[in-house]
Structure 1
Amino acid sequence: MKNKIKANVWLYFSLVVFSLILVSALGVALILLIATYFDIIPKDKGSVYLIIFIALFLALISSGISSLVGRKFLQPIVALRKSMRLVAQGDFSVQIEEEKAAEEVQELYSDFNLMVRELGGIETLRNDFISNVSHEFKTPISVIQGYIQLLQSESIPDEERRSYYKRIYEGNQQLITLTDNILQLTKLETQTMGYEKEKFRLDEQIRESLLFLQPKWEEKELTLDIQIEKITYSGNKELLYQVWLNIFENAIKYNNLKGNITVKATNFANQVVIVISDTGVGIKEEHHQKIFEKFFQEDNSRKTSGNGLGFPLVQRILELHHGTIQVASSRGRGASFTITLPHESSS
């Protein structure tokens, strides 16, 4: 790429020099021809006047062409310098128009715009993380600190002490989960570079996620109704695994004892449709869209059991795959989530 740009620049420079010489020569010839034909210049002093006139004419033409060429070449550099100065001041919304520039300058502008977008994404990641940490980390940190203070007493019975250690461990796990979710969600929200895709068996992945959560749904004595077709899908395997884990964990967590979870997956020609239903507490209709907002939790009394980042994470992953998720639920009657994932040819 560097050799190509260098070669083209030298080509432009050669064309400019050639144009200047050609214009100058043509101008001299034209002036001499006109002066001779119409006898404009006196014959006795004709040579002197001719030289002065030609010199002034060539100076004027050269100045005009040099000015135009200089502006044409320097304008992109000036625009880039101004934009870089704004970025240095912390403005990551700067974008330079690429269409009006030359081919090499368009490539330079494109790289600059991409760099600014990535820097803006990193800045958003940093700001969101700091904001969310200060807001959401207070509760588990306070819990851990409280139990540590209680453990300072030597008169605590061993059984109660073990209970305190368990609560501290749970608070620590909540902090780890919260940190991972915030980082992953914010990274996905600011991602502009795309993601790696591979072909894999989506039906097997759904079964694997249910198998991973087996201790949890067995503890609540839940019944599973699985109706999954054979599905080969092209997408990011790791990200989609997070989708099923989050939805199934929610279906288990808020399900009733000895309730049901139904999973239906159908493979159509242009898309895959997965419906996951439970018989749990359900979601109020006015909260169907709010559950996809970061840190929203319908019931604050269950705040320690989640951090309100699961469904926003699910929605963002599906958006990256050009997919959708819809909710059908009412309070006390369970919830049903319909996920659509278009095949690669359709998306």
Structure 2
Amino acid sequence: MIRSLYVRMVVTFIGVVLVSLIVSFFIAAKLNKPEVDNQIDQFVIRQGKEIIALYRQSPNKDIDAYLSSVSRLNYNIWLYKETGEVKYYSPSPQKTKHVFSEQEVKRVIQGGIYRSVERHRPGFLRVVGLPFEMGGRRYALFVQLREDKILTIMDRVSRIVLFVVFIVGSILILIAARYLVKPLRTMTLATRKLAQGDFDVHVDVKQKDELGTLAASFNQMAKALSELEQMRQDFVSNVSHELQTPLTSIRGYSQILKEEELSAAERKEYIDIIQQEIERLSRLSENLLKLASLESNRHPFHPETYSLDEQLRRVVVFMEPQWSKKQLELDLSLERVEITADQDQLKQVWLNLLGNSIKFTPAGGRIRIQLTKDEQQVAVQVADTGVGISPEALPHVFERFYTGDPARERRKNGNGLGLSIAKKVVDLHHGNIQAQSEVGQGTMFTVRLPRRQSW
């Protein structure tokens, strides 16, 4: 079995060239045979007429001697008399077995012209028969021209040309196949490196055809895998950090609790801290599982039609202890809107957005929630008068575990996954979420969702 694509291409192409040459040769010979035969017949007829004309110029010459000398010019000649007597003249001592029927001879003697239907013997061209009258007697002169050396040479040259075409075509096919297969070999090597974990591999293919498209797709895949690997490493690093911090606190305070001289108040304070860190770990694991489930596209999805404005009011009431504790002013401007979506998932979005606004808005600040609609979509805006987000950090707020913004230093009970989850939920609903902010002036998140969807 031939496993190499290069060898298969070469064998296939050479086979195609060989078969094409053979088929073309026979088709061309078949199509041109009538014309070639006609040209040969016309030539032999002219030669026969010249033989007769030359003899008539010297009628007293011995016809046997004359035709014998003419036959030496590469002719086979048969001379039939009315009586049926036949004489054969040829430069070859071996007599041809060509036999003409009585009807053919009679028709030529009576003035007709005979043309052979096919070749009668290899090495001989077609035969023509001409009427010949001399001295009151009628004859039938059959003339057959032997193949001339020139014709033999031409036939040999044509065969050599076909052979040369085959050889040159095969060589060109070898080169072309190598040129075509080279990008595939390059991509094979790159794929092996990719399988070994080298995601920085790049295939440099300049072709603009399907191979070029394949190479470009491979490079895009390698780039995406590289970014995914970097994301995985960052994710593992961030998760490790997020887990290590509360575990370190729990371990440290647990050691302190072993000391007997601690007062009851101090012991209660340390126990409260340990509980907070445990709750933080619980929320972290819960959010990680939720985010992984959402990104796997296998998260349970239950769309239903419900009142979005009523859901936002219930979220505000649910979080009343948090915003009341900081004496924040809540301003609601909600149009009556019904939407088809997963109610539980969107509730998580509103809880995250409102929770962030409460967390990063100083006491006595203001939070405004606005719901508007048009024929195609709804828009929910959650704006606050909090610390804001720096321009450098704003593009990264939806990234997991992002902690690069000093203006919004993460509180202990945060884990940097809320906005990532919110964005994923909005994406699953074929919507979009945007953030606008100025440091010291506040932040506004805008969520746009289609009112009706078909899943």
> How would you bin the TM-score normalised by the shorter chain?
0.5 to 0.7
Unpaired runs of 5+ in structure 2?
1-10, 40-146
Aligned to 1:227: 333
Aligned to 1:156: 262
Instruction: Find out whether 1:339 has 2:443 as its counterpart.
Output: no
Instruction: Find out whether 1:60 has 2:168 as its counterpart.
Output: yes
Instruction: Find out whether 1:88 has 2:195 as its counterpart.
Output: yes
Structure scoring higher RCO (CA < 8 A, sep ≥ 6) equals 1
Structure with greater proportional helix content = 1
Kept after mapping to 1: 8 A contact 2:331/2:366: yes
- In structure 2, relative to structure 1, the CA distance for the partners of 1:90 and 1:139 (3 Å cut) is same
Kept after mapping to 1: 8 A contact 2:390/2:437: no
Equivalent-residue separation in structure 2 for 1:48 and 1:59 (angstroms): 16
How big is each residue's C-alpha offset from its partner over 1:172-214, in whole Å with a ceiling of 9 and x where there is no partner?
Answer: 22234345657877999xx798997956544354345435434
Equivalent-residue separation in structure 2 for 1:24 and 1:44 (angstroms): 20
Kept after mapping to 2: 8 A contact 1:325/1:340: yes
Kept after mapping to 2: 8 A contact 1:197/1:235: yes
Equivalent-residue separation in structure 2 for 1:40 and 1:256 (angstroms): 113
Q: Which of 379, 398, 411 matches 1:273?
A: 379
Q: State the shift of 1:267 in Å.
A: 0.7
The two structures, once aligned, show a CA RMSD in angstroms of 5.0
Aligned to 1:290: 393
Kept after mapping to 2: 8 A contact 1:288/1:327: no
Q: Aligned runs of 1:114-193 on 2, under 5 Å?
A: 116=222, 119-120=225-226, 122-133=228-239, 135-178=241-284
Equivalent-residue separation in structure 1 for 2:25 and 2:314 (angstroms): 82
Q: Which moved more, 1:212-221 or 1:119-128?
A: 212-221
Kept after mapping to 2: 8 A contact 1:326/1:338: yes
Q: Which moved more, 1:63-72 or 1:268-277?
A: 63-72
Kept after mapping to 1: 8 A contact 2:361/2:387: no
Q: Helix, strand or coil: the match of 1:295?
A: coil
TM-score normalized with structure 2 length: 0.53
Kept after mapping to 1: 8 A contact 2:200/2:222: yes
- In structure 2, relative to structure 1, the CA distance for the partners of 1:310 and 1:117 (3 Å cut) is same
Q: State the shift of 1:250 in Å.
A: 1.9
Equivalent-residue separation in structure 1 for 2:218 and 2:185 (angstroms): 14
TM-score normalized with structure 1 length: 0.65
Instruction: Find out whether 1:323 has 2:429 as its counterpart.
Output: no
Partner amino acid for 1:152? K
Kept after mapping to 2: 8 A contact 1:20/1:65: no
Equivalent-residue separation in structure 2 for 1:54 and 1:302 (angstroms): 82
Kept after mapping to 1: 8 A contact 2:303/2:342: yes
Equivalent-residue separation in structure 2 for 1:152 and 1:41 (angstroms): 119
Q: State the shift of 1:246 in Å.
A: 1.7
Q: State the shift of 1:262 in Å.
A: 3.1
Partner amino acid for 1:306? G
How big is each residue's C-alpha offset from its partner over 1:307-340, in whole Å with a ceiling of 9 and x where there is no partner?
Answer: 4554566567657755343435663x7x351404
Equivalent-residue separation in structure 2 for 1:66 and 1:90 (angstroms): 34
Equivalent-residue separation in structure 2 for 1:235 and 1:147 (angstroms): 45
Q: State the shift of 1:283 in Å.
A: 1.6
Equivalent-residue separation in structure 2 for 1:212 and 1:252 (angstroms): 13
Q: State the shift of 1:162 in Å.
A: 3.7
Partner amino acid for 2:436? V
Q: Helix, strand or coil: the match of 1:264?
A: strand
Structure with greater proportional strand content = 2
Aligned to 1:101: 210
Q: State the shift of 1:168 in Å.
A: 1.1
Find the structure with the greater CA-based Rg: 2
Kept after mapping to 1: 8 A contact 2:387/2:407: no
Q: Helix, strand or coil: the match of 2:210?
A: coil
Q: State the shift of 1:169 in Å.
A: 2.0
- In structure 2, relative to structure 1, the CA distance for the partners of 1:221 and 1:31 (3 Å cut) is same
- In structure 2, relative to structure 1, the CA distance for the partners of 1:53 and 1:93 (3 Å cut) is same
- In structure 2, relative to structure 1, the CA distance for the partners of 1:255 and 1:303 (3 Å cut) is closer
Equivalent-residue separation in structure 2 for 1:83 and 1:192 (angstroms): 28
Partner amino acid for 2:162? I
- In structure 2, relative to structure 1, the CA distance for the partners of 1:157 and 1:89 (3 Å cut) is same
Partner amino acid for 1:168? I
Instruction: Find out whether 1:77 has 2:184 as its counterpart.
Output: yes
Q: Helix, strand or coil: the match of 2:380?
A: strand
- In structure 2, relative to structure 1, the CA distance for the partners of 1:192 and 1:75 (3 Å cut) is farther
- In structure 2, relative to structure 1, the CA distance for the partners of 1:124 and 1:330 (3 Å cut) is closer
Size of the alignment, in residue pairs? Answer: 321
Q: State the shift of 1:157 in Å.
A: 4.3
Kept after mapping to 2: 8 A contact 1:315/1:325: no
Equivalent-residue separation in structure 2 for 1:318 and 1:109 (angstroms): 34
Aligned to 2:20: 22
- In structure 2, relative to structure 1, the CA distance for the partners of 1:92 and 1:226 (3 Å cut) is same
